[in-house]
Amino acid sequence: MDNKSALIEELQKTGHITLEQVARWKDLSELLAVLDAIGNDGASVIMKVDGGRSDASVYTVVVSGGKLGEAFFRKDGPKLHELLYEAISFYEARVWARN
């Protein structure tokens, strides 16, 4: 077992994370790969998890710079996968669809 797996297993045993949480993040891997491509295309991508908020909008996603020029995407929400999909769609429509 590698160090990453051992750490995740220990955090699950101690109740800090659940199998469901790990599964949700694994389901995001394709979207994260696209964000990586956006970053490699010259834009900045920020994904924030803010547990200090009083509402359910714990996630913030920002895409800006590079070929977007003055345009940018910034949105808060409770469902990270939806925010990532919207951010990718925003970038695709304004940058990649023009090429």
DSSP labels for 13-28?
HTTSS-HHHHHHHHHT
* Whole-number pLDDT of residue 24: 83
Average pLDDT over residues 34-47: 97
CA atoms within 13 A on the CB side of 67: 16
Average pLDDT over residues 2-26: 88
Q: Return the domain boundaries, the chain.
A: 27-98
* Whole-number pLDDT of residue 25: 83
